[in-house]
Amino acid sequence: MKVFAFFFCTLSFATPSYAADVDNGSELHSESCTQCHDSDAYTRKDRKVQDLAGLGTQVRFCKDNLGVTWFDDEVDDVIGFLNQKYYHF
């Protein structure tokens, strides 16, 4: 069982864009991520995020500040959603 869990985690971590459930990410995002900034933060000219790794870092940063307890694959869903809708890396 442990081996399976490890394999599963490794797999979902290694393939975030493939595994991302964008619809789920969209839902999680509208539940938790619209209090401080709206989508202007993602589309403004001088936006901070410049690549996929940076997007992951920023999503985790905001998520941790907010105190929401998402699993890694839910974080990947939100990253996938933001990337598909706004960032297009």
Q: How far is the CB of 13 from ligand HEC (least distance, A)?
A: 18
Are the beta carbons of 83 and 89 closer than 8 angstroms?
yes
Residues in the chain: 89
Find how far residue 22's CA is from the centre of its chain. 9
Are the beta carbons of 55 and 83 closer than 8 angstroms?
yes
Are the beta carbons of 78 and 27 closer than 8 angstroms?
no
* Segment 24 to 63, residues that bind ligand HEC, using CB under 6 A: 29, 32-33, 35-37, 41-42, 47-49, 55, 58-59, 62-63
Tell me whether residue 58 is exposed, middle or buried, using C-beta atoms within 10 angstroms of its C-beta: 0 to 12, 13 to 18, 19 or more.
middle
Q: Which of 16, 20, 74, 78 binds ligand HEC (CB under 6 A)?
A: 78
* Nearer CB in complex with ligand HEC: 1/19: 19
Q: Which of 65, 67, 69, 88 binds ligand HEC (CB under 6 A)?
A: 65
**Residues lying near ligand HEC in the complex (CB under 6 A):** 29, 32-33, 35-37, 41-42, 47-49, 55, 58-59, 62-63, 65-66, 68, 78, 82
